Amino acid sequence: MRNIIVQKFGGTSVADTEKIKNVARAVIREKNLGNDVVVVVSAMGHTTDLLVKMAKEISDTPSAREMDMLLSTGEGVSIALLAMALQAQGCDAVSMNAIQAGIMTENLHSKARIIDIKTENIFKHLDEGKVVVIAGFQGVTDELEITTLGRGGSDTSAVALAGALNAKRCDIYTDVEGVYTTDPRIVPYASRLEQISYEEMLELARVGANVLHPRAVETAAKYHMPVRVRSTFKLENLGTLMLGVNQMEIQRPVTGVASDLSQLRIVVCDVQDNPGTAAILFDGLAKENISVDMIIQSYARKAMNTNDIAFTIDKADLDRTMKILEKVKENLHYSNVFVDDKIAKISIVGAGMIDKPGIAAKMFRTLADLDINIKMISTSEIKISCLVEQSSANDAVTALHRVFGLDCDTKAVVKGDLPPSV
Ligand code: ADP
Ligand code: ASP
Ligand code: MG
């Protein structure tokens, strides 16, 4: 029986050639344990951010196709360098881009989903005893168009490959020692979790815990794939194991706290309070593949037969959203549109909050004590999110982390610096 391990190394782990040599040692260590190893790598350091910056210097509205052509080059560099580093250390290795590895996606630029992985080529190289180094983040369509999976998407490439290859485990190596109760860059006393369920991790990833790409978590849950998030710089540590909720013991109502600064709020004022108004607006957005997160419709002003609709979207979708609002204006008859881009979504997540009353009240009280105003609220079975002023985000996360009993006695270790602002 084959024992395949998929290892994924993020940007910080391959930031320079010394680090790439270090990654090669980690790969050989896994191979020497008797496993077949498939490695997925991200672009080196902040390469993807720098490529985005260059594109913006050329055009305000670069085409989505050319953006994917550009951004996919980052991973192309790291696969070749890592394969060379492995060969230099005496390990037979081959690099593969998405076309060679058969990572087939839907025909959608910048956030494509993987629909199939044609694994024959990968197995052929594994059969020859090679380590296979595959470019994360990129995919290819049936028409040979290059796509990308969305920022942070190499995690998804790794987990999808692990599923398709029927791997024993997928290890996500990064610059922190696992999944923490919150971002250790914001709260140094964040605690590392030994285990986390797919369900909780999915909510945390969706509300801003960028340690794992949300679609990677969905894919792991689909394949019941055990995933370890662990440090490239402390290989002996086992990090955090992600697995099914029924395999875990729930100890606390809240498992983690996250903040998301990537969204903005749009308020459409004085729309007609008639059946179909929201449908026209959100149909328009859906047709353009724009995802809406939080939505609030105000109480109707009877005299005028109008109300306001507020919603949040990704900052990157602002221009396209404004164009759609312009298009639907004659149907919605709104008076004004306000854009608020200085917001943060603060969320608490935990399977333990199911059937436990008082968790939302405690969150709202904590924010009130800090004099933080809540602009919008949304909930799911295991998550409560509040939209607040961006300037209050870190104070809110720190206080909620403490109030829900998540502070640890020792500081977390974080390698690498923050990305340059693009
Ligand atoms: P990589 O380049 O390895 O993919 P990322 O920057 O995408 O790394 O993800 C790791 C980062 O995720 C950490 O440096 C940390 O700042 C951030 N992060 C956010 N929330 C969490 C969390 N709950 N646990 C651990 N890290 C988190
Ligand atoms: N290089 C891509 C990014 O920076 C993909 C990844 O690192 O996961 O978003
Ligand atoms: Mg990442």
Residue 348 and residue 356: Cα distance in Å, rounded?
14
Q: Is residue 244's pLDDT more than 90? A: no
Query: What pLDDT was estimated at residue 415?
Result: 76
Q: Does 136 sit in the ligand 2 pocket, CB within 6 Å?
A: yes
Higher pLDDT residue, 420 or 285?
Answer: 285
Ligand 1 atom nearest to 419, measured from its CA:
6
| pLDDT for residue 279 | 95
- Lowest mean pLDDT of 74-78, 332-336, 412-416, name the range: 412-416
Look at residue 205 in the predicted model and tell me its pLDDT.
Answer: 97
Q: Is 235 exposed, middle or buried (0-12, 13-18, 19+ CB in 10 A)?
A: middle
Given this model, what pLDDT does residue 28 score? 98
pLDDT in tens, 174-206: 999 999 999 999 999 999 999 999 999 999 999
* pLDDT at residue 247 in the model: 61
Nearest CA to ligand 1 atom 7: 211
Pocket perturbation via mutation, ligand 2, pick of 8, 40, 154, 314 by most ligand atoms within 8 A of CB: 154
Any atom of ligand 2 within 6 Å of the Cβ of 137:
yes
Q: Which amino acid is at 76?
A: G
Query: Domains in the chain, ordered, with CATH?
Result: 4-174 (3.40.1160.10), 247-422 (3.30.2130.10)
Report, as an integer, the average pLDDT of 229-250: 86
182 within ligand 1 shell (Cβ under 6 A): yes
At residue 3, the pLDDT reads 95
d(C-alpha 340, C-alpha 140), whole Å: 36
Residue 421 has pLDDT above 60, yes or no: no
Does the pLDDT at position 296 exceed 80? yes
Of 413, 316, 419, 414, the closest CA to residue 44 belongs to: 419
Kindly tell me if the per-residue pLDDT of 261 is higher than 70.
yes
Structure confidence at residue 61 as a pLDDT band (50, 70, 90): confident
The predicted-structure confidence for 310-363, as pLDDT tens digits, reads as follows 999 999 899 999 999 999 999 888 999 999 999 999 999 999 898 888 999 999
Read off the pLDDT of residues 396-406 as tens digits, 9 standing for 90 and up.
Answer: 999 999 999 99
Tokens of 291: 């995802």
Look at ligand 1, atom 1, and give the residue with the nearest C-alpha. Answer: 10
Whether the pLDDT of residue 1 is over 80: the answer is: no
| CB of residue 191 inside a 6 A radius of ligand 1 | no
Q: Are 269 and 308 a contacting pair, CB within 8 Å?
A: yes
How far is 188 from 316, CA to CA, in rounded Å?
29
Q: How many residues does the chain have?
A: 422
Model pLDDT, residue 412: 82
Concatenating the DSSP letter of every residue in 30-63 gives HHHTT-EEEEEE--STTHHHHHHHHHHHH-SS--
Structure tokens at 26: 């980690």
Averaged pLDDT score across all residues of the chain: 94
Q: Over 80: is that where the pLDDT of 245 sits?
A: no
Residue with the smallest CA separation from ligand 2 atom 8 is 152
Distance from Cα 309 to the centre of ligand 1, integer Å? 33
Q: What is the mean pLDDT of residues 211-232?
A: 97
pLDDT category of residue 66 using cuts at 50, 70 and 90: very high
DSSP 234-256: -TT---EEEE-GGGS----S--E
